Copies of this chain bind each other. A is one copy, B any other.
Amino acid sequence: MTQSFINGGGLPGQAFYTGAPAWVTGADRLAAAPCDRARQAQLFGLQTMVCVPVGSGVLELGSTDVVFHSPEIMGKIRVLFNFSTPDAPSVASWLTPQTAAATPATDQGETDPSVLWLTDPSAVDIKDSVSPVSATADLSVTKPPIQLENNPSSSILTESPSSSMQIQRTHNQPQQQLHQSSGSDPHTHLVFSKKFNFSEFASNGSVVPQSAKPEPSDILDFAGSNRNPSPAPVTGSFFSHHQAITAAADDKRNKRSTGATSRASNNDEGMISFSSAPARPPSDVLFKSSGGGGILDGPDSDQSDLEASAREVESIQPVEPEKRPKKRGRKPANGREEPLNHVEAERQRREKLNQRFYALRAVVPNVSKMDKASLLGDAVSYINELRSKLEALEIDKEELRAQAEALEKERESNPMPPPDHDLRTMNGSGGGRCHGVEMEVKTLGSEAMIRLQCLKRNHPAAKLMAALRDLDLDVHYASVSVVEEFMIQQATVKMSPSRAYTPEQLRAALYSKLAAEAPISR
């Protein structure tokens, strides 16, 4: 981890200390969460963030897709990382209430590009995979409509880019081959890897249990084949949603007639980028564990982990579907490696910029038009609005504070002549309120010792203290303890010399006070 989490603050810390998972869905909620980590996540385009306490640490999950909480998912997560958490399955603080549920697909369409892409006609066939909120299983089967063809190092060009179904793909990319090696099953490309993040666990200690071993072979194992019966289907179903979407997105992208060079590898000389392939396997969801109390490690720039991961999500998966644009021969004017790098870098820059735009969109309310320019304008005015509001509040507060101070001072000089109701005014009738109350009162001169045991319900401590106050007894010492459903209070008080009670009087007075129902006060 490149960050440390203190004290139970933020979502990870909270999850760690309470032992209850935290699940936040929706960029807006992420941005609004009282947790910097969540804001970071949202800033880098994540739409869902989950913190699951696991033994000595917290398992952190994120997705650029909107994934809602469901007991099944939690169960699958638990199985996948097979930890034995004592957390009740569906308890905890799910932060995905009505508001989030009220923004299923239409709203996200405004903030999430991947969902936006679904408006593309070429993606209609998988469109139904978007709407379901509980997108868990069997969504992967909606993917096959994208036809795959094997044209190693070919230069096929699609002359009519507007027809969405004539998509051609080259599969000579190394990642592609990895996928293909697992068979022709369309599910096979719905994979995820544990990535480098898991390799950190080795140095972190065994934060994540056994099923996720930090062996590098695990990466290939996950990427290449999903053999294990339980985890693989889980991941496949859990993330197939997003996978399908991004695939569709790529369809759209490649449909463009511009020279659509591949993203993480170049088509014609596929082997060039092979070395970088294992380092960036396709992945939809980021797994990452925050060490419990706060682990200090390398002086990486913070956020970099999330940023890198988020970008990876954005720029890696499109690796597999590829298409030859109409640009025929060799690349326009290269041979050196720079231009391609340049293009890629520029692409990433744009991507990052857009991520920021989405983030900004998420935090700025009332973004009328989805236009970038107006978004910026709205952001500015929103900031100004917030500022002036804040300023006004500051003034208000100052004013109120002054006023309160004045009143306070006035009250001070004006002691408190309360409706002098001392113990004599009170009746001795004790309502049957306090069952099983036990009270013991002893006096020694002007000092008195009081011991009271009763049910902890109805805030007996408040009652006793109020009674002592009303009886004008100065508290010297008091203690309150709770055992089971009982509360035991002890106090030593000093009676005002003008009014000394016998223990019996005191007991009676206190009893009646305590029996009196509480609600009146304030």
Q: How far is the CA of A472 from the CA of B459 in the complex (A)?
A: 9
Contact assessment for B408 and A411 in the assembled complex, using a CB-CB cutoff below 8 Å? no
Contact assessment for B388 and A390 in the assembled complex, using a CB-CB cutoff below 8 Å? no
- B residues within 8 A CB of A372? 353
- B residues within 8 A CB of A356? 373, 376-377, 380
Query: Is A273 located at the chain interface by the 8 A CB criterion?
Result: no
From known contacts A14-B445, A480-B475, infer whether A386 and B387 are also in contact, taking CB-CB under 8 Å: yes
Contact assessment for A31 and B379 in the assembled complex, using a CB-CB cutoff below 8 Å? no
Q: How far is the CA of A424 from the CA of B364 in the complex (A)?
A: 56
Contact assessment for A482 and B487 in the assembled complex, using a CB-CB cutoff below 8 Å? no
Task: Mark A31-61 against chain B: 1 for CB-CB distance below 8 A, else 0.
Answer: 1101000010001000000000000000000
Report the minimum CB–CB distance from A464 to chain B (whole Å): 7
Query: Is A409 located at the chain interface by the 8 A CB criterion?
Result: yes
- B residues within 8 A CB of A387? 32, 363, 386
- B residues within 8 A CB of A388? 34
- Chain A's interface: helix, strand, loop or mixed, by majority? helix
Query: Is A146 located at the chain interface by the 8 A CB criterion?
Result: no
Question: Which 7 pairs show the lowest CB-CB distances between chains A and B?
Answer: A415-B425, A356-B376, A418-B519, A478-B480, A459-B469, A407-B407, A462-B465
12 A-B residue pairs with Cβ-Cβ distance under 8 Å, sorted by A, are: A356-B380, A364-B383, A379-B379, A386-B386, A400-B400, A408-B432, A408-B433, A411-B411, A414-B416, A416-B458, A416-B518, A475-B487
Residues of A within 8 A of B (CB): 8, 14, 17-18, 31-32, 34, 39, 43, 349, 352-353, 356-357, 359-360, 363-364, 372-373, 376-377, 379-384, 386-390, 393-394, 396-397, 400-401, 403-404, 407-418, 420-422, 424-427, 430, 432-434, 443-446, 456, 458-459, 461-466, 468-470, 472, 474-482, 487, 491, 496, 502, 515-522
